Chain A
Amino acid sequence: MAETEGQANDTKDNLNVNRFSNADVEYEGGSPNTNSWLFTLDELHDRTPSRLDGISYEGEVESRFKGINFIIMAASRLRLPHNTIFAASCYFHRFYIRKSFRKYHQYDIAATCLFIAAKSEETARRVKDVVIVCAKVAQKNDSAVIDEQSKEFWRWRDMILFNELVVLETICFDLEVANPYDILQDFVAELKLEERSTDVCRSSWKFLNDTCRSMAILAATPRELAVSAIYWGGVLLGKPITDEPNEEWYLNLKVPKEKIEIVCALMADAYKSRTGEQKYGTV
C-alpha cells in the first residue's frame, strides 16, 4: 500500500520512511492493517526531522507538549470527546515524525489535526467553529472577538483548509487509530479494579490521558499504553497493584516490563517540559 519514497520534495524530512514500508500489507483475505507508527527510543531521541533540523530533544518535547495542550484546550471548548482528542494527538505526533517543527508551527498542525480527527471520529465540527476556538486558544484569550470580520478568522480558516491535505498526506492518509480507552476499560473490568481501588482507577485513567502529551504513543501500542496506565496508576498512588496477592494479573497481560519503562521515561520527559504551560486554561 505505502509508497516507500515519501514526498519527493521533502526528502530531508523523511528519515524514517523505510518504517512506512511496513504499511505494505500483502493483499489477502482478512489480514489486518499493520501500519507501523512505532519507533525506538533512539529514533525518538536523535533522529526525528526536528532533531536533524537542529532542535534539541527538550525543545522538541516541549513543542509537542504545547501542541497537544492546544488540542486538549480547543477540544474541550468544542466539547469533543476523549477518543477524538486521542486520534488528533496521534495524527499530531505522527506528523512530526516526518516534518520539522521549524517548518510547521505546532498550533497550526494541532488545529488541523483536531479538525481532521473530529471528522474521522464522527464528531465533526464546522470549520467556522474550529477556527474561532483555535484563534482564541492561540491568543490565550477566551473573550477575544473572532468573527468573519476579523483578519485572524480568515488566517486560521485558510491555514486549516490548506493544511488539511498536507497533514493527511504526511500521515500517509492513515486515519485509523486504535483506542486505548476501550482497552483500559476492559482491563479494569477484568481485574475488578473498580472494586479494589477507585483511586487507582482514576489515576490510571489520568495517566492514559496524559500519554497523549508525550511521545509514548509513538513507542507503544494502545494495549501497552493501557497496561502501563494500570501499572503506573497504582505506583503513582503508592498502591502498586502488583502488591496484591494475585500478581499474575500482570503476567497475563503479556506486556514486557521494559515497554512500561519506556512509556514512563517518555512521560517523564513530557512532564518536565510542563513549566510555564499550565497557567492558561487547565482542563
Chain B
Amino acid sequence: MAASANKYKLIKKLGEGTYAVVYKATDAQNNTYAVKRIKLGEFKDGIDISAIRELKFLQEIRHVNVIALYDVYSDQETLNLVLEFLVSDLEHIIQDKSLIFQTADIKAWMLMSLRGLHHCHRSYIMHRDLKPSNLLIAADGNIKIADFGLARVAAYPQEYLTPTVVTRWYRAPELLLGSRHYTESVDIWAMGAIFAELMLRTPYIPGASDFDQVELTFRVLGTPTEEIWPGVSSLPLYDDLMTKITQRHPVPPPSEISLRFMAASTAALNLLNSMLEYDPSKRPTTESALLSPYFVEELPRPTKPQNLPKPPSFSS
C-alpha cells in the first residue's frame, strides 16, 4: 500500500461512477489496472463513506471471485484505488443478443458469483448492491464481484439498517417494505433475480418506480401473507402499501413458474424459487445454495470460465 503516485500511468478514462472516475492504467512492467480515482474535498464531510467502505472491505476480502485491490495511493487531491482491470460485466453479456447461453454457462456464472458472495458472507460482509453490472468479468472468464461502496458488516439483530440499498430491480421484499433489520439474505434475493435474468435474458422484476417494484414483485410472485411470510404485516410500510395496492395476487404454482423458464431444469427451478422466497429466513445461505442439487448433482457441469461466451470485443 501507500505507493507513490507516479507508479501508475493513467491511459484513458473508462467510466464515471457515483463518487469516482475510473481510468485504465499501466505500471512500469506494463501490467494493466483500473484506477478508481476519488476526488477529495468535494464532500463536506471528508472522504466519501463509499470510498471508506471499499477500502476496508476490499483489503479484507481476497477471493478469485471478488475484484482484487492491488494498491492504494493518494496525492493532494485524490485517493486512488488500484483495482484489477476487468474487460466486461454480466450486464453487457446479458444484453449482447449475439451471444447464446447454454445452461452450463448460466450455471458457471451463478457458481462463481455465489462462491465470491460466500466468501463475503463468511467474513460477515453483506454486499447490498448486487446486480449484473456489478458482476464484472475478467479476460479469463472469471466473475469478480465489484463495487463495495454500499457493503457493510452484518448487523446485530437490534441494530438499525437503512432499507434504501440495492438497485431497485434486485431489491428484496423486506427492503421494499421498509425493514430495518435485514440480513445477508438480501444478497441471496438479488442473486435469485440475477439467476432469473440470466435465463430470461431480460430483467425479471423491472419496476419503474419504488412503488411499482412492490406491485410488480407481488404480481410476479404473489401477494405475501402472514402464512407464507410470518411477520410481513408488521413491517413498516406494509399497511401503507396494502391500502394502495388493492389487487391481491395468488402465489403462482410451480407449473406456472416453470412455464416462464422453459429451459430450466427442476433443480434450477428449485434453487431459483428458494432464493426468491418471501420469508428471508427461508432463503438458502450461500453455502446451502452452493450445495444444492443444481450445483452438486445435476448435469451438465458448469462451463469452464475460459470457455464461456464472450462479446467479440473481448480480448484475452
Contact = CB atoms under 8 A, between A and B. Distances in A.
A179 to B, nearest CB: 9
Interface in B89-147: 119
Nearest to B79: A165
Interface SS, A side: loop
Contact of B64 (A23, A28, A172): A28
Given A165-B40, A165-B47, A2 B4 contact: no
A20 B59 CA distance: 14
Q: Which 6 A-B pairs have the closest CB atoms?
A: A175-B56, A172-B1, A173-B72, A29-B64, A3-B3, A2-B1
Interface in B54-110: 55-56, 59-64, 68-72, 74, 79
Interface of A: 1-3, 6-8, 20, 23, 25, 27-33, 35, 115-116, 119-120, 122, 124, 126-127, 160-161, 164-165, 168-169, 172-176
B46 interface: yes
A175 B68 CA distance: 16
B276 to A, nearest CB: 27
A114 B277 CA distance: 41
A90 B72 CA distance: 20
A206 to B, nearest CB: 21
Contacts, number: 86
A126 B4 CA distance: 31
Contacts of A115: 46
B226 interface: no
Contacts of A161: 41, 46
A33 B55 CA distance: 13
Interface of B: 1-4, 40-41, 44-47, 49, 52-53, 55-56, 59-64, 68-72, 74, 79, 119, 152-153
Given A119-B49, A120-B53, A124-B49, 9 more contacts: A3-B3, A8-B4, A31-B62, A33-B59, A33-B62, A119-B47, A120-B56, A164-B46, A165-B40
Contacts of A32: 60, 62
A172 B73 CA distance: 9
Residue among B59, B71, B119 with max Cβ neighbours from chain A (10 Å): B59
B62 A25 contact: yes
A257 B51 CA distance: 40
A85 to B, nearest CB: 16
Contacts of A28: 62, 64
Contacts of A173: 1-2, 55, 59, 72
Nearest to B119: A30
Given A30-B119, A120-B52, A175-B56, A23 B47 contact: no
Nearest to B61: A33
A193 B59 CA distance: 35
B60 A33 contact: yes
Nearest to A161: B46
Given A1-B71, A3-B2, A165-B74, A175 B47 contact: no
